[in-house]
Amino acid sequence: MKFADRLQNFGEEIFASLNVKKLELEKQGRKIYNLSIGTPDFPVPEHIRKALTESAQDPESWKYSLRDLPELLDAVCAYYKKRFQVDLHPEQIMSCYGTQEGTGHLALALLNPGDLILLPDPCYPVFQAGAFLAQASPWYYPMVKENGFLPRVSDIPEEIAKKAKLMIVSLPANPVGAVAREDTYQEIVAWAKKYDVFIVHDNAYSDIIFDGNEGKSFLAVPGAMEIGAEFFSLSKSFNVTGARISFLIGRKDVVDAVRLLRSQIDFGMFIPIQKAAIAALTGPTENVKKQCMEYQERRDALCGGARAIGWEIPDAKGSMFVWAPIPASYSSSMKFCLDLLEKAGVLCTPGSSFGPHGEGYVRFALVLPPDKIREALNAVKQSGILE
């Protein structure tokens, strides 16, 4: 059977070859430090687990939910007010099965084939997948060292800005670990208004931000609500990646459009998961802050530890990732990843898998405690790969 042409946009070859190598080494009894995938290793707070299991005991919870519970939408409104000082109306919010799913369907709801969408390069690959699913035309704006790894809208050519329909922005950024400056969002809002571009901000890492900075909502910037929407995932703040809980929040007509599309293919989020989300949003948040400090300790162990052995990795400013330049003796991030795995038993992700501007870097996920990170760096040092 000849499958749909769109499948040709998707492939996992890079990860497959790294995985084969990893399994091979594990079979030989080698110790592997897996810093490749951004799945939090911290526990899910008890009150969230309890809310889900209690709800699951009620047979009524097992029916089609059909919609977001009003108390869930109220909980998002209250959270946004308290955490980000943003006023929302429940109609400006819809749940989705994670930002990953939401991003794909948002593209299908907003873009026609050939429409221009601006994406970061390097970026979280799902942004690109949404564009491909909608047969839109992506144009990549660089997230590079010279720009402090931040979007610089003033560099976008006028003819591209005039044609663009949508732009995806995501800070703190995966994979580059950059966070918004005071004026980053203001510049983007002014630019979006001038060129009539809709901004979708992915706020996956608002709670993982270091050195005393406070994560913000894009929607808190004056004017943002007129030109934008934001994905707000609970995955990383509350370690609920498997439960698939995120929200699309923002301009009502856009949220309505995505809701209409999704209602054709879904009957609403499982009620026990909605109850878990309510518990997360209305429950204690001290754990979120404590966890952020623990990520910072990991960041310090990795970036500071690497510098101590002669590998100049700058401090990540936020997100659960560290963006590390590969040694000058290498020209391919994939080759460096394979060698690092083989020689030191340390698994990371080649920067090239996040886009052409990712070449020359690798990404480490901060998913091991500081002592294990120190052990991994010791293995790097012993391997001689930096020499």
Ligand X SMILES: Cc1ncc(COP(=O)(O)O)c(C=O)c1O
Q: What does the binding site for ligand X look like in residue numbers (CB under 6 A)?
A: 38, 98-100, 124, 170, 174, 202, 204, 233, 235, 241, 246
Q: Nearest to ligand X by Cβ — which residue?
A: 98
Q: For residues 236 and 381, which CB has a smaller minimum distance to ligand X in the complex?
A: 236
- Comparison of 98 and 130: residue with beta carbon closer to ligand X: 98
Supply the minimum distance, in Å, between the C-beta of residue 234 and ligand X.
7
Cβ 311 to ligand X shortest distance, Å: 24
- Compute the residue count for the chain: 387
CB 193 within 8 A of CB 236: no
Q: Which is nearer to ligand X, 202 or 207 (CB)?
A: 202
DSSP secondary structure letters along 218-251: GGGSTTHHHHEEEEEESTTTTT-GGG--EEEEE-
Q: Which residue has the tokens 């979708």?
A: 200
| Closer residue to ligand X in complex, CB, 86/204 | 204
Q: Where are the beta strands (DSSP E) in 22-155?
A: 33-34, 93-96, 116-121, 137-142
Residue 296 tokens read as 């910072």
Whether residue 35 contacts residue 364, with contact meaning beta carbons closer than 8 Å, is answered with yes
Nearer to ligand X, 202 or 230 (CB): 202
List, in sequence order, the alpha helices (H) in 126-172.
Answer: 126-133, 158-163
- 281 residue type, one letter: L
Closest by CA position to 200, among listed 113, 131, 269:
131
Q: Which of 293, 282, 297 is nearest to 207 (CA)?
A: 293
- We find the least distance from the C-beta atom of residue 37 to ligand X, in angstroms, to be 8
Q: Report the nearest approach of ligand X to the CB of residue 202 (Å).
A: 5
Task: Pick between residue 246 and residue 291 the one whose CB is nearest to ligand X.
Answer: 246
Nearest to 372 by CA among 384, 360, 380: 380
Minimal distance, residue 11 CB to ligand X, in Å: 19
Least spacing, CB of residue 96 vs ligand X, in Å: 8
Candidates 280, 353, 331; CA nearest to 124 is 353
- For the CB of residue 331, give the shortest distance to ligand X in the complex, in Å: 27
Query: Minimum distance between the CB of residue 149 and ligand X, rounded to whole angstroms?
Result: 14
Query: Mapping DSSP to helix (H, G, I), strand (E, B) and coil, where does residue 196 land?
Result: coil
Q: Which is nearer to ligand X, 362 or 385 (CB)?
A: 362
CB–CB of 52/273 below 8 Å? yes
CB of 77 to ligand X, least distance (A): 19
Nearest CB to ligand X, comparing residues 61 and 241: 241
**Cβ contacts of residue 264 below 8 Å, gap of 6+?**
none
- Looking at beta carbons only, is 124 or 139 nearer to ligand X? 124
Q: Pairing mode, if any, of strands 246-250 and 228-233?
A: antiparallel
Tokens of 213: 């900075």
Q: In which residue are the tokens 């949003």 written?
A: 281
